[in-house]
């Protein structure tokens, strides 16, 4: 089975490529724009900018059986209009061309920001109401892909990722900043009050789950990619400092809570677990994911 990973050089993409490389029945094709970053993945790669005209893109990208589409430009900058003006337009054009040219199975990473300002345990059936351009662009992309299935039959898995942490995380993220502060031996770390509840998973686990949902054949549709176990940001940070043997003092309340996120939300992983179980059965425990 030929599996193409777009955005293969990103924080999540690098881990997804590694997860797929552990599967003997998979031939992995990695794609992104920067050839130097692609070369170090140790997979077959194809340099491709999805802002270009997608004539013949399915052929150019090796006629994969499955596309795991992780590419997205300009993160985080959640409020900026380029998510809608450029990314939404170009990603839909690219994905529509891939499907029209023969791609049978598509897995795309969305975001928990599609839900907008809703508190509590969120299920995939909850109505979406994004509060950022980023969340809206992803939500509209999903709706357009769903509508496209009326024209072309293809398998669509839409993965709403919640929060991730782990090695290689971007310095711009909370946990990336925390690791920098620990590595620099700083005495204190500025935080919000830290009482907001979030749903975090290690990036390596998220990558394995993305691969599993993409490769199983029984379940289509929307999947929360989450733990189902809310944790306060303060506790997450304190546990991470303790695990690293650090001595950082937290300056709580320095930053306000972000107004594009609800105070307490997490995901229901029931559909995710069904798909992961289907993968285990179908791949007959040959897989090492």
Ligand X SMILES: NC(=O)c1ccc[n+]([C@@H]2O[C@H](COP(=O)([O-])OP(=O)(O)OC[C@H]3O[C@@H](n4cnc5c(N)ncnc54)[C@H](OP(=O)(O)O)[C@@H]3O)[C@@H](O)[C@H]2O)c1
- Residues near ligand X (CB under 6 A) are 6-13, 32-34, 37, 48-51, 70-73, 75, 109, 111, 161, 163-164
Among the listed residues 46, 100, 34, the one whose alpha carbon sits nearest the alpha carbon of residue 92 = 100
Residue in the shown chain whose Cβ atom is closest to ligand X:
10
**What sign for the dihedral angle of Cα 209, 214, 219, 224?**
positive
Closer CB to ligand X, 73 or 261, in the complex: 73
Closer CB to ligand X, 109 or 283, in the complex: 109
CB of 249 to ligand X, least distance (A): 27
Closer CB to ligand X, 8 or 208, in the complex: 8
Please, is 121 exposed, middle or buried when counting C-beta atoms within 10 Å of its C-beta (0-12, 13-18, 19+)? middle
Closer CB to ligand X, 16 or 241, in the complex: 16
CB of 94 to ligand X, least distance (A): 8
CB of 162 to ligand X, least distance (A): 7
Among the listed residues 113, 45, 51, the one whose alpha carbon sits nearest the alpha carbon of residue 85 = 51
SS3 of residue 247 by DSSP: coil
Closer CB to ligand X, 73 or 282, in the complex: 73
Please, is 249 exposed, middle or buried when counting C-beta atoms within 10 Å of its C-beta (0-12, 13-18, 19+)? exposed
CB of 21 to ligand X, least distance (A): 16
Angle at which helices 89-100 and 133-148 cross, to 10°? 20
CB of 160 to ligand X, least distance (A): 8
CB of 109 to ligand X, least distance (A): 4
The answer to whether the CB of 137 falls within 8 A of the CB of 78 is: no
Closer CB to ligand X, 89 or 251, in the complex: 89
Residue 183 CB partners (closer than 8 Å, separation 6+) = none
The answer to whether the CB of 4 falls within 8 A of the CB of 29 is: yes
CB of 71 to ligand X, least distance (A): 4
The answer to whether the CB of 48 falls within 8 A of the CB of 42 is: no
* Cα within 13 Å of Cα(186), Cβ side: 15
Closer CB to ligand X, 37 or 234, in the complex: 37
**What sign for the dihedral angle of Cα 171, 175, 179, 184?**
positive
Side by side, the strands of the sheet bearing 221-225 are 44-47, 27-32, 2-6, 66-69, 105-111, 155-161, 221-225
Closer CB to ligand X, 10 or 194, in the complex: 10
CB of 44 to ligand X, least distance (A): 16
């Amino acid at each position: 089975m030929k599996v193409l990973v777009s955005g293969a050089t990103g924080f999540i993409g690098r881990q997804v490529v590694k997860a797929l490389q552990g599967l003997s029945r998979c031939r992995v094709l990695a794609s992104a724009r920067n050839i130097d970053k692609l070369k170090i993945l140790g997979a077959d790669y194809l340099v491709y900018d999805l802002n270009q005209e997608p004539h013949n893109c399915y052929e150019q990208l090796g006629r994969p059986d499955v596309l795991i589409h992780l590419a997205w430009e300009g993160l985080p900058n959640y409020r900026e209009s380029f998510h809608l003006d450029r990314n939404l337009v170009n990603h839909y054009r690219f994905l529509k061309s891939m499907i029209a040219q023969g791609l049978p199975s598509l897995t795309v990473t969305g975001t928990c920001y599609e839900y907008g300002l809703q508190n509590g345990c969120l299920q995939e059936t909850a109505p979406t109401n994004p509060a950022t351009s980023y969340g809206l662009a992803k939500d509209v992309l999903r709706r357009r892909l769903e509508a496209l299935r009326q024209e072309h039959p293809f398998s669509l898995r839409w993965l709403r990722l919640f929060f991730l942490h782990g090695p290689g995380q971007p310095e711009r993220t909370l946990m990336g900043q925390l690791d920098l502060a620990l590595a620099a031996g700083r005495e204190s770390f500025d935080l919000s009050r830290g009482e907001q509840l979030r749903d975090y998973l290690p990036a390596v686990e998220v990558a394995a789950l993305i691969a599993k949902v993409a490769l199983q054949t029984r379940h289509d549709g929307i999947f929360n990619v989450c733990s189902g176990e809310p944790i306060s940001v303060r506790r997450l940070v304190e546990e991470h400092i303790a695990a690293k043997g650090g001595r950082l003092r937290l300056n709580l309340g320095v930053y306000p809570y972000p107004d594009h996120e609800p105070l307490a939300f997490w995901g229901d992983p029931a559909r995710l677990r069904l798909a992961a179980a289907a993968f285990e059965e179908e791949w007959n425990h040959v897989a090492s994911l």
